[in-house]
A and B are shown apart, each in its own frame.
Chain A
């Protein structure tokens, strides 16, 4: 079974530029998450989708971050414009469903973003 795929793996941009990350979850997984992991910290949930609907985006900086999962499968996270403090690893995860908390989250390898 293929795991969660993310691209690109690395991205370097200058501040005020735009960037987009792509995630393809495990086939059949209804729930998709985007996390931000700043160096030295644990991952922080940015947004959670159930199929193509948003379940939780309370920690997403909506003035600059946006995410979509139009067909309920793959997802794109965008930052526009980027700030220095956005430098982090962006992790995507998926799980079968979110009816209960017993569903395991499977994480992709992440995209390391450096903002100069």
Chain B
């Protein structure tokens, strides 16, 4: 069965520091992978997605993610974090054919001044 693991429940980084959020997936075939952000009181917003091709994917708000098949990972990165990036981040995998999205438990990002 497909699954997504986000090992870090929460992460704290200083404003201006770099960020990496980890995501590991379990899926037999080539996965479709996503990162979403959820700010307090708001719905989820898609940051980026990977379907095929270049393993480094650029998204909105300066985020990028790298697909590594050998490690079954799809980590999210940002070179310099802003206070407004404080939110919850969800990694997700989509089953091909069934088009069902399976979300990880999320990582809450805290940004300190």
With a cutoff of 8 Å between Cβ atoms, the chain A residues found around residue B104 in the complex are 42
User: Are B43 and A110 in touch, CB under 8 angstroms?
Assistant: yes
User: Are B92 and A107 in touch, CB under 8 angstroms?
Assistant: no
Most chain A beta-carbon neighbours within 10 Å: one of B92, B99, B100, B105: B99
User: Are B44 and A91 in touch, CB under 8 angstroms?
Assistant: yes
Bits for B13-41, please: 1 = Cβ < 8 Å to A, else 0. Answer: 00000000000000000001000000001
Residues of B within 8 A of A (CB): 4, 32, 41-46, 49, 51, 90, 92, 94, 96, 98-101, 103-106
18 further A-B contacts with Cβ under 8 Å, apart from A40-B106, A42-B104, A48-B100, are: A40-B105, A41-B105, A42-B4, A42-B92, A42-B105, A43-B90, A43-B103, A44-B103, A55-B99, A93-B43, A100-B99, A102-B49, A104-B46, A104-B49, A106-B43, A107-B44, A107-B45, A109-B43
